[in-house]
Each structure stands twice: as C-alpha cells, then as structure tokens.
C-alpha cells in the first residue's frame, strides 16, 4: 500500500463515517434545544390563552380584588373621620 492509497482510504473514511456522525451530533444538539424551547413556548401560550380565557380571567380577578380593597379603604376612612 502506497501513500496515495492510504490517503484515499482516509478520505473515504472521513466522508463516509466521520462527516455523517458529526452532522448527526450537530443535528441532535439543535433538536434538543428546539424541543426545550417548544416546551417553554407551550407553557407561555397556555398561560396567555388557556382556551382564550387565561389572562382575561386573571385580570378580572385582580380588578375584583382591587375594588374590594378600595371599598374597604373607603369604609376605614369614613370610620376615622
């Protein structure tokens, strides 16, 4: 086996085995990161929309609680006056 044959075998080995394995590892890493992002986005979408009522329901609850606090404060001011 001469040097040219060895070089050709190394080139074939690189193209057939090492390059596809490296490509697969890169693809797998990207896929893992995208899967993690998909999970985060799914949780955000659920929190925002929750069948169209998630944030709307929370805002109504906060407004209702604020009105109760405002009413209690007005009663306390009236009692102290």
pLDDT digits (tens, 9 = 90+) for 11-29: 888 888 888 888 999 999 9
The residue range of the domain holding 53 is 3-80
CA–CA distance, 68 with 65 (Å, rounded to integer):
5
For residue range 25-45, what is the model confidence (pLDDT) as tens digits?
A: 999 999 999 998 998 888 888
Contact 47, 54 (CB under 8 A): yes
Provide the b/e sequence for 38-47 (b: ≥16 CB within 10 Å).
Answer: eeeeeeeeee
Number of domains the chain contains: 1
More confident residue, 3 or 29: 29
Full-model pTM: 0.43
């Amino acid at each position: 086996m001469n040097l040219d044959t060895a070089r050709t075998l190394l080139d074939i080995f690189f193209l057939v085995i090492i390059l596809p394995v490296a490509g697969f590892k890169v693809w797998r890493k990207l896929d893992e990161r995208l899967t993690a992002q998909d999970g985060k986005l799914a949780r955000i979408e659920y929190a925002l929309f929750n069948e169209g009522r998630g944030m709307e329901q929370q805002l109504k609850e906060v407004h209702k609680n604020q009105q109760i606090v405002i009413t209690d404060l007005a009663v306390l001011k009236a009692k102290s006056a």
